[in-house]
Amino acid sequence: MQLGQLPRLIMEKMSQDGHQCYLVGGSVRDLFMSKEPADYDFVTDRLPDQILSLATQAGWKAREQGRAFGIIQIIIGKKSYEVASMRAEEYGKDPHRPEKVVFIGDLQQDLARRDFTMNAIALGKNGKLIDPFGGIDDIKKGIICAIGDPQARFLEDPLRVLRAARFAVQMGFSIEKAIPPAMMKRDVQERFRGLSVERIRDEFEKILLAPGPSRGLRLLADTGILGLSCTQNRKGRKTGVDFLPEVMQLDGIPQNPRYHNYDVLTHTLKVIDKVASSPVLRWSALLHDVAKGRPGVRTINKRGEISDFGHHLLGAKIARKILGRLKVSKAYTRRITWLIKNHQNLPSTKVLRLTKWIIKKARDFTNRHEFREAARQLFLLGQADDASKGREAIRSIFTCCLPGSPKS
């Protein structure tokens, strides 16, 4: 594994005078898998003050925001590197940060506090890998394993239940059998409720944008995680807000077999996998059928078949509420709700009807560029929707784009 010049320089500086410094965590995992790490994280037996002093001597900039937890950000040029003192942690009531941090100067104990074996590998400046928990073998097998008892790891930091799902879809790995039952434990789920809505949303969006996110989303539905609440802080007052119970409730909801082979949740997950990876499209796919099966929407048509007439209208309202409580940006929310509201109203291929549709829908936008992009996204969502019914009922309109819109 080849280290770049700057990471190697940091390791050499921090390991001077008999000290230790190792590259750790996801950066080692990525290098082992021949990927360029997004971040480089180091641990050293130096204390935070010593890290700062050495950075100053080297002429590097440093940020101290995480100093209480032994973390110093070193900035060299335009790049930032995290250098942390080797530590052990004890967690209390707050699931966001440890209650007690002890600087220990022991690499194995530092690695032991991490989440999964693949993230508990260290790399020395001599190129030697230190792997006390079998992370390399688990990477080779393509499996995500907790360090020790997964329930204990999730109780330390309950965001790890989402990280397990994220790593599974980002890396294409399977998950050890002990992880889903641990995610379902009452004490783990109660602790999850204390997480902030912002942390939940950010981690969830990483799952949503990953290649083939349906496996991770199905795991969160089957373990009940989507049905939990989290915490928002308004003017110093903490209150609970729902995560995504509306999505979990789609599981097992049947659809009209004339058009669908799948229940609503299975169909939804297939749409998400098929649509392009962008926040607007993936959120739209997740929530496009969120109103199906609800009273006032679920009816029986003249043929005696299941019908969800008007689900796109109610769905847009429900989506706006969900996105609001999860603090998704207002710009994204406007576009997502527009797509959901219109996903049942795609135009005919006949020129006159298509022209009328364009004139009518363009009124929702302030400029031509916005409308073209929204229409392009709507067609992509509609294409994925129809391709995920099990009926191969793709509309011929999807084979073309609106005039002047970018091809996908």
Tokens of 28: 């080692």
Nearest residue to 284 via CA among 345, 214, 336, 212: 336
CATH of the domain at 43: 3.30.460.10
User: Do residue 65 and residue 172 come from a single domain?
Assistant: no
Instruction: Give yes or no: residues 235 and 250 share one domain.
Output: no
| 39, 112, 343 from 134: Cα distances, Å | 22, 12, 48
Task: Please report, for the domain that includes residue 261, its CATH number.
Answer: 1.10.3210
Residue 373 belongs to a domain:
yes
Query: CA 295 to CA 25: how far, in whole Å?
Result: 49
Q: Is 45 exposed, middle or buried (0-12, 13-18, 19+ CB in 10 A)?
A: buried
pLDDT at 322 over 90: yes
How far apart are the C-alpha atoms of 11 and 42, rounded to whole Å? Answer: 8
Q: Is residue 408 part of a domain?
A: no
For residue 194, being part of any structural domain is answered with yes
Residue 299 lies in a domain: yes
More confident site: 2 or 123: 123
Q: What share of the chain is helix, strand, coil (3-state, %, to 5)?
A: 45, 15, 40
Q: Name residue 146's beta-bridge partners.
A: 116
Same domain, 262 and 384: yes
Site of tokens 């191969």? 392
Is 67 exposed, middle or buried (CB count within 10 Å of its CB: 0-12, 13-18, 19+)?
middle
Q: Average of pLDDT values for 365-393?
A: 88
Is 272 found in the same domain as 234? no
* Rg, the chain, Cα only: 25
- Whether residue 407 lies inside any domain: the answer is no
List, in order, residues 6 or more apart from 43 with CB less than 8 Å away.
21, 22, 24, 83, 84, 85, 86, 107, 110, 122
Q: Are residues 347 and 258 in the same domain?
A: yes
Judge if 39 and 104 occupy the same domain.
yes
Closest alpha carbon to 201 in 376, 322, 57? 322
Q: Summarize the confidence of residues 321-341 as an average pLDDT.
A: 97
**Model confidence at 164: pLDDT above 60:** yes
**Residue 392's pLDDT band (boundaries 50, 70, 90)?**
low
Which tops the pLDDT comparison, 398 or 132? 132
Q: What percent of the chain has pLDDT over 70?
A: 95
Give me the residues paired with residue 237 across strands: 234
pLDDT (tens digit per residue) in 102-142: 999 899 999 999 999 999 999 998 889 999 999 999 999 99
Q: Other C-beta atoms within 10 Å of 319: how many?
A: 25
Distances (CA, A) of 14 to 42, 45, 123, 340: 9, 9, 14, 53
Average pLDDT, integer, range 202-210: 97
Give how many domains the chain has, as a whole number.
Answer: 3
Q: Given this model, what pLDDT does residue 349 score?
A: 67
**Which residue is listed with tokens 């962008």?**
278
Domain containing residue 120 = 1-141
pLDDT given for residue 5 in this prediction: 85
Q: How confident is the model over 50-58, as a mean pLDDT?
A: 92
User: Per-residue pLDDT tens for 297-313?
Assistant: 999 999 999 999 999 99
Give Cα 354 distance to the centre of its chain: 37
Closest CA to 71 of 36, 110, 121: 110
In 3D space, the residue among 305, 306, 273, 266 whose CA is nearest the CA of residue 289 turns out to be: 266
- In this prediction, residue 391 carries a pLDDT of 64
- Asked if residue 315 and residue 216 are part of one domain, the reply reads no
Give the H or E element holding residue 317. Answer: helix 311-325
Amino acid 4: pLDDT: 81
Domain endpoint, select from 103, 122, 141: 141
Q: Are 167 and 190 contained in the same domain?
A: yes
Same domain, yes or no, for 249 and 394?
yes
What pLDDT is recorded for position 22? 96
Asked which of 173-182, 234-243, 345-354 is least confident by mean pLDDT, the reply is 345-354
Is 29 among the domain residues? yes
- Rounded to the nearest integer, the mean pLDDT of the chain is 91
Asked whether the predicted pLDDT for residue 396 surpasses 50, the reply is no
Which pLDDT does position 394 carry in this prediction?
Answer: 44
In a domain, 391, yes or no: yes
Q: Do 231 and 107 belong to one domain? A: no
Domain assignment present for 405? no
Q: How confident is the model over 328-343, as a mean pLDDT?
A: 96
* Range picked from 2-16, 278-292, 345-359 for highest mean pLDDT: 278-292
What is the pairing mode between strands 174-175 and 143-144?
parallel
| Token pair belonging to 163 | 């990280």
pLDDT score for 95: 84
Q: Do 1 and 40 meet the contact criterion of CB atoms below 8 Å apart?
A: no
Nearest alpha carbon to residue 296 among 266, 323, 317: 317
* Percent of the chain predicted with pLDDT > 90: 77
275-289 residue pLDDT tens: 999 999 999 999 999
Last residue of a domain, one of 141, 172, 203: 141
70 and 37 assigned to the same domain: yes
- Give the domain-ending residue among 190, 210, 239: 239
Q: Look at residue 395 and tell me whether its pLDDT is greater than 60.
A: no
The verdict on 275 and 395 lying in the same domain is yes
Q: What is the pLDDT of residue 222?
A: 97
Task: Return the CATH number at 174.
Answer: 1.10.110.30
